[in-house]
Each structure stands twice: as C-alpha cells, then as structure tokens.
Amino acid sequence: MSLTDQRRSDTRLKIIDHAANAFGQKGYQNTSIAEIEGLSGLRPGSGGLYRHFVSKEEVLLAVIAEYHKRVKNLRHTLSSMEKKSPVDELREVFDALLAFASGEEAMLAIGSDTTGLPKLAVVAIGETWDEAYGIFRDLFERNGIDETSSACMAVGAMGSLYHYFLRLGSWKTTPLNINLYDYLDNWTKFWSLIFDKELQEARSTT
C-alpha cells in the first residue's frame, strides 16, 4: 500500500470512529457532515469527507459494518471456548460481553432507536443483532439444545443484557438500582436454571 493509500485509509477509519461517537451522542439526524469533518481533522464544510464517502448514509453504513465485524469476531472467539459447566460458560460469555459493551456505548445508543435512520441502516443493525444473538445460540446448540429453543433462549438472554447495559450507558443508572454484581449473579442463576431444564428435556428425548 502506498503512503497516499495508507493516509486515505487512516482518514476513512478516523471518519468512521468519530462519526460513530457523534451519531451515538447526538443522533444521526442531528449530526452534520461538517461536524464529522471537523471531528475527523478535516476542515469543516470543505467537502473533504466526500473523498471517502458519497453521503452521510454511507458513513453510517460503514460505522455499522465495522461494529458488525467486531461482534462477529467476538462470536467466533466465544464459539471456540473450552466446554465447561452451564454456569461457568454463561459467566464466561457474560464477562466477555461486559468487557465488549464497555467500549461500545455509541453503538448501543445508535441501535437503541432506529427512528429516522435510513432503511439500509436499519437492516444492517438487525443483521448485527442476529450476529449477537448467535453468541448465545451457539452456546446452547453446542450443548445439545435444539435449534428453535436455542434461538428463543438466545433472544431472551441477550435482550435482558442489552437492556441493562443500555440503561447503564445512556443514563448512568441501572434498572431498579441493581448493582452489576447482583445482576450478574442472578442473571447467571436464572439462565442456568433454564439451561439445565432444556438440557434435561433434550437428553430425555434422545
């Protein structure tokens, strides 16, 4: 890669990074091209962003695509973890998601309200959610739970975590003031019970 191409690539990534933060804090509709340019080290209003993207929508799609890659990489890492007891596996996934979410406040905010977002962006966010649900579906399926039950459980497990982290990231408070350690303990107990029940049913039918 030439020095010019490297600089273009660096600028493109910088635009994606700063646009994600701006979209997360102010919303897609309230963030201007000029503002993204200024945050990215380009002269605001110069049109420099258009050397890398054709529109603000394309910037948003690139933001979501980069996030999708990170979620997919996390899923791949967790899918190859050592098999343990249901409780230990759930805790390991929880810890990994907690670490992941702590650096993804902007993306959690963008995904929390798709009102006013372009249709292609809404579709891309949905596909990223499916990738995230897959983290739990993989866990349940590799322990012998059928595909449909695994998918339903994955939506419930991930959905409850997302709500907790979104509340914490957006409002800096937790639902019903539940601290993280109590939430972790009770979330793990709850899903372990469901996990064990489904495992017993799966074994009884084989």
| 106, 193: one domain | yes
Give the CATH number for residue 20: 1.10.10
Give the CATH number for residue 93: 1.10.357.10
- For 116: left if phi > 0, alpha if psi spans -120 to 50, otherwise beta; the answer is left
Give residue 7's pLDDT. Answer: 62
The average pLDDT across 100-109 equals 88
| 142, 62: one domain | yes
* pLDDT one-digit tens code per residue, 153-171: 999 999 998 888 878 777 7
Interior CA angle at 103 toward 99 and 106, to 5°? 140
Q: Quote the CA–CA distance of 132 and 139 in Å, as a whole number.
A: 12
pLDDT at residue 2 greater than cutoff 80: no
| 18, 112: one domain | no
| 67, 43: one domain | no
pLDDT confidence band for 24 (50 / 70 / 90): very high
What is the average pLDDT score of the chain?
90
* pLDDT one-digit tens code per residue, 162-199: 888 878 777 788 899 999 889 988 998 899 889 888 88
* pLDDT one-digit tens code per residue, 64-95: 999 999 999 999 999 988 888 888 888 899 89
Q: Into how many domains does the chain fold? A: 2
* Residue 158 lies in domain: 56-204
Q: Are 153 and 161 contacting, i.e. CB atoms less than 8 angstroms apart?
A: no
Give residue 102's pLDDT. Answer: 83
Q: Are 107 and 20 contacting, i.e. CB atoms less than 8 angstroms apart?
A: yes
| 42, 108: one domain | no
pLDDT confidence band for 3 (50 / 70 / 90): very low
| 41, 131: one domain | no
| 22, 79: one domain | no
Question: What Cα–Cα distance (Å) separates residue 183 from each residue in 62, 84, 138?
Answer: 34, 21, 23
| 141, 188: one domain | yes
Question: What Cα–Cα distance (Å) separates residue 63 from each residue in 56, 92, 116?
Answer: 11, 27, 16
| 176, 100: one domain | yes
pLDDT confidence band for 123 (50 / 70 / 90): very high
